[in-house]
Structure formats: C-alpha cells, structure tokens
Structure 1
C-alpha cells in the first residue's frame, strides 16, 4: 500500500474503542483534493464519445487548447476499481510530483495510453477532466501488471501547459 493509499485509508476509517476499524466505502473518483472531500460525479453526467471514451470537465481551463501535434504537460491519477495504480502527483516538492509530457495524437506509436491521448484533446490549459477509459483504449485484452485484461480504468487529468512551435510542429517540453 503506498503512502497515498494509507492516507486515504486513514481518512475513510475510524477506530472504535475496541480498536476495530469501521470503514465507509470510498465514493471518490480520484485522489485529488476533490476526491478526498468525498464528492462523486455520477457516470450519467459524463459525455460519451463514439469510441466509448467518457469524460467530464471538472474545470474548463482558460488557456490554449490541446490539439494534435501539441506537446502537453499534465498531472494524472490512474485508477482501477477505485485504487490508484499510477500517478504523476507523487514525489518531492511543493507541486507533488513531476508532470508527464507527451505529444498529442501520437498514441499509435505506443508512447501514451490511447484513452489518455484522446481524452486530453480539446482540453484547455488550467482545465481538469475525469476520463472513464474502456479496455479498447486502455490496456485491452492483455492487461498490464496488476491491471487485468479488459479492465475499464479512470483517469483524473489536469492540463498544466502546452508547448508548440510557431510553425505547428511539436517542440520538446523540458520537465523538472
């Protein structure tokens, strides 16, 4: 169990006088501050794309829009069945981790999860979006590590920055 999971466990559980934990089922979609407050967005509120990807904009950003060819920097939290299995938010420093960068529209090369790539398109810098990613756009029929085959995953994505040259071709975003 990682530190974040322990924190969430401690937040959701109370100890009785007999030393027994009484826990409530977590209703949060992600491990962001919003989730720790216990809010849950009903799946019926999400927009569904023809490819099965569902998204909900928690916050619409006011900056540039992520389009194919953009080099984006994001923070993300990836969950399966409510358990965080990957995040860019863990780490040292005030910002809590190193942002993840990738070129939008390059998921065919296998550098980024297809559902994440498609889910970031159309976001604006400063925005935060929840994604429900079907297996075909996630890890498919093979799964990966602790994620079983045909698993639907959830992503909480925050678009931090976009870097693009004046001619429309992507430029390297220096992270750290």
Structure 2
C-alpha cells in the first residue's frame, strides 16, 4: 500500500514538474570547475572554433577509463570543432568560453555523454 502511494506520488510529482516547465524536463547540466586560467586571455572559445584538448576520463569511483596523456607525446590530444557534434554534448557545452591554456574539470552527466550504460554515439 505504501509503495503504491509513494509510486503514485512520485509519478504525480513528475507530471506536475513537466506541466510547470511547459511539458519538458530540464536538460542535464555540465558542472564546470576552472582549475587554471591564464593571466591573459585575448579570446574565449565559441561555437565553430577548432580546439586541441588533452583529456582524462574518470568514472564516479575515481577509476580512469581514458587518458590522452597515456599515448606518446601530443598524439593523444584531440582536435575537434566546438559545437558541431564531433564530440559528446558535454564537451560542446563545457568547453565554451575557455581561454587558450585554461584547464577545466567537467562533470558530465550520462545524458550528455554516452548514456547510463556507457554505450552509443556521442550525440
């Protein structure tokens, strides 16, 4: 009985939230933490810019699943065009407004990466 009531309450709350937001659930957010910002920043990144990035990917438990630095030299760094779906959506969102030489920590939810199962295409 309690489980049924709780289940009904949760689904009713979800419907109320959808109605209050015009029928859409809010999109997942990328959490951005600037780890290092250069003293001078003449221009910030924007959609359409070509970026070269080194990256480290971690699971929630801290285990590294990928590092571009594991490969020799700069060969592991990735070139891509910001905002045109060449990379996961979390990168397109989280790397906007960045200065050359800046270092950021992005916490990307599964919906903006490869999904809950860690499979699939970037977009």
Task: Report the alpha carbon displacement of residue 82 of structure 1 after superposing the two structures with TM.
Answer: 0.8
1:131-175 deviation line (CA, Å, top 9, x unaligned)? 110111011244229xxxxxxxxxxxxxxxxxxxxxxxxxxxxxx
Query: Of Structure 1 and Structure 2, which has the larger fraction of its residues in helix?
Result: 2
Identify the residue that residue 91 of structure 1 maps to in structure 2: 71
The answer for the alignment partner of 1:77 in structure 2 is 56
CA distance in 2, matches of 1:104, 1:75: 15
Aligned length: 91
Q: Is residue 133 from structure 1 mapped to residue 108 from structure 2 by the alignment?
A: yes
Q: Secondary structure at the match of 1:89?
A: helix
Question: Which of residues 104, 121, 124 in structure 1 aligns to 2:99?
Answer: 124
Q: Could you state the TM-score of these two structures normalised by the residue count of structure 1?
A: 0.47
Q: Which runs of 5+ in 1 are unaligned?
A: 1-49, 146-176
Looking at structure 1, the residues matched to 55 and 72 of structure 2 have their Cα atoms a distance apart, in angstroms, of 16
1:73, distance to aligned residue in structure 2 (A): 0.4
Q: Which consecutive unaligned segments of at least 5 residues does structure 2 have?
A: 1-26
What is the RMSD computed on CA atoms of the aligned residues?
Answer: 2.0
Shift in Å, 1:60: 1.4
2:79 to 84, 101, 105: 101
TM-score (normalizing by structure 2): 0.65
Q: Which has the larger radius of gyration?
A: 2
Which is richer in strand? 1
Alignment correspondent of 1:67: 46
Does 2:30 align with 1:53? yes
Higher relative contact order (CA 8 A, sep 6+): 2
